[in-house]
């Protein structure tokens, strides 16, 4: 049954070549004191920084910067940014980058006017903000997380070896607008491109692999999965293919902008396992997911057999003739792993820097959720990590 739900998505999207030209006009709706957030320097090399700065100047904004937001942004970097944003009396935050910069901007937005330290409040107790939230806009440069059109934010504490995040319920945390120019993603290193492709693919799986219903969300998910497969195969052969890269950009947005979760309990255990890996290794997010997925899905397949069978037929075109349900489902997972190899994704945790002695920390860092086909216990989690090494 597609149960009761509320659907609200306030993000306005400017999509396509030259989308940044809309920035000046759009910025007139927001405050004058802008905090510009970006990463380790890619935007300076590829000209995106200059294009954005030009628009900010034309809009007459007073701009202060937080530069050097790292992949898997840290709580320490967030605290530094809160001080800068308060000093600037920022009334708007513009993130230019991938999921890390956009997640960081959202965490900043709900911390500037909050007296308590954000780690405990937002990333340990997972509370929603009760204070004023500074509006956020973004210019997307890396495709995969969907952060451009959702209220998710993930922050790491390297001292505690923890990575924690949440899809916040507060609609004020959605970016007010997202500038999405596929040409901006062309300078991404291949490693980041494929990491993002697996991230979006897995977001869809996390929502699809729950429940036994035959609802709208599942059909939307299957369509998106097929689109990701189609476009990814072209992009891997020719990363400069604009059509493929633009479809991937749009797929990633719809994979995680709350639509396909409607009416579903949703799983998210691959992300919980991957985040625990990220906490101890700081590896690229999509790669952590890729490294644990085969072992995890093989483990839960018997508990969600009808959906895995449907996945095999509807997404991977497995021919069911004369085969048992189990066999069909297993062939689907096999096809998925073959595609993952084609992309050149991480095949195990060892290549991401994890080792046997880190398993206790990773097990401790894995939040156990109950929306999927099997509620894991600590022993099963350790087994999945061991199998993924």
Residues forming contacts to Zn ion in the complex (CB under 5 A) are: 199
Cβ proximity to Zn ion, 181 vs 199, nearer residue = 199
Shortest Å distance, C-beta 257 to ligand NZQ:
9
Cβ proximity to Zn ion, 112 vs 362, nearer residue = 362
Stretch near ligand NZQ under the rule CB under 6 A, chosen from 5-13, 109-117, 139-147, 305-313? 139-147
3-state secondary structure the chain: CCCCCCCCCCCEEEECCCHHHHHHHHHCCCCCEEEEEECCCHHHHCCHHHHHHHHHHHCCCEEEEECCCCCCCEHHHHHHHHHHHHHHCCCEEEEEECHHHHHHHHHHHCCCCCCCCHHHHHHHCCCCCCCCCCCEEEEECCCCCCHHHCCEEEEEECCCCEEEEEECCCHHHCCCEEEECHHHHCCCCHHHHHHHHHHHHHHHHHHHCCCCCCCHHHHHHHHHHHHHHHHHHHHHHCCCCHHHHHHHHHHHHHHCCCHHHCCCCCCCHHHHHHHHHHHHHCCCHHHHHHHHHHHHHHHHHHHHHHHHHHHHHHHHCCCCCCCCHHHHHHHHHHHHHHHHHHHCCCCCCHHHCCCHHHHHHHHHCCCCCCCCCCCCCHHHHHHHHHHHC
Shortest Å distance, C-beta 203 to Zn ion:
6
Shortest Å distance, C-beta 198 to ligand NZQ:
10
Binders of ligand NZQ among 342-371, rule CB under 6 A? none
Q: Which does 100 bind (CB under 5 to 8 A by kind): Zn ion, ligand NZQ, none?
A: ligand NZQ
Tell me: does residue 72 bind ligand NZQ (CB under 6 A): yes
Tell me: does residue 262 bind ligand NZQ (CB under 6 A): no
Q: Which does 40 bind (CB under 5 to 8 A by kind): Zn ion, ligand NZQ, none?
A: ligand NZQ
Q: Which of 13, 66, 133, 142 binds ligand NZQ (CB under 6 A)?
A: 142
Tell me: does residue 100 bind ligand NZQ (CB under 6 A): yes
Tell me: does residue 135 bind ligand NZQ (CB under 6 A): no
Q: Which does 388 bind (CB under 5 to 8 A by kind): ligand NZQ, Zn ion, none?
A: none
Binding letters toward ligand NZQ, positions 180-209, x by CB under 6 A: ----xx-xx---x---x--x----------
């Amino acid at each position: 049954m597609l149960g009761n739900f509320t659907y609200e998505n306030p993000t306005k999207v400017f999509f396509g070549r030259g989308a940044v030209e809309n920035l000046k006009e759009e910025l007139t709706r927001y405050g004058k004191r802008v905090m510009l957030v970006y990463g380790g320097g890619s935007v300076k090399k590829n000209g995106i920084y200059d294009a954005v700065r030009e628009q900010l100047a034309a809009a007459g904004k007073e701009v202060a910067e937080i530069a050097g937001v790292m992949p898997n942004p840290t709580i320490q970097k967030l605290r530094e940014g809160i001080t800068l944003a308060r000093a600037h009396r920022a009334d708007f935050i513009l993130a230019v980058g991938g999921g890390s910069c956009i997640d960081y901007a959202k965490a900043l937005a709900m911390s500037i006017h909050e007296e308590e330290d954000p780690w405990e409040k937002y990333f340990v107790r997972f509370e929603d903000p009760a204070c004023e939230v500074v509006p956020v806009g973004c210019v997307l440069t890396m495709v995969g997380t969907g952060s451009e059109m959702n209220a998710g934010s993930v922050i790491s504490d390297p001292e505690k070896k923890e990575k924690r995040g949440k899809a916040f319920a507060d609609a004020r945390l959605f970016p007010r607008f997202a500038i999405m120019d596929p040409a901006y993603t062309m300078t991404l290193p291949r490693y980041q491109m494929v990491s993002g492709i697996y991230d979006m693919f897995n977001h869809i799986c996390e929502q699809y692999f729950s429940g036994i219903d035959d609802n709208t969300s599942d059909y939307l998910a299957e369509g998106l999965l097929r689109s990701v497969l189609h476009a990814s195969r072209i992009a891997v052969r020719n990363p400069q293919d604009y059509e493929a890269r633009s479809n991937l950009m749009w797929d990633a947005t719809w994979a995680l902008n709350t639509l396909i979760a409607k009416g579903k309990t949703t799983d998210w255990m691959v992300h919980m396992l991957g985040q625990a890996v990220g906490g101890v290794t700081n590896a690229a997010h999509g790669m952590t997911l890729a490294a644990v997925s085969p072992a995890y899905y093989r483990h839960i397949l018997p508990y969600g057999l009808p959906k895995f069978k449907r996945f095999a037929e509807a997404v991977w075109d497995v021919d069911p003739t004369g085969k048992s349900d189990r066999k069909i489902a297993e062939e689907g997972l096999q096809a998925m792993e073959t595609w993952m190899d084609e992309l050149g994704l991480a095949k195990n945790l060892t290549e991401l820097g994890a080792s046997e002695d880190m398993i206790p920390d990773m097990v401790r860092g894995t939040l156990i959720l109950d929306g999927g086909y099997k509620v894991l216990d600590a022993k099963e989690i350790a087994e999945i990590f061991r199998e993924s090494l």
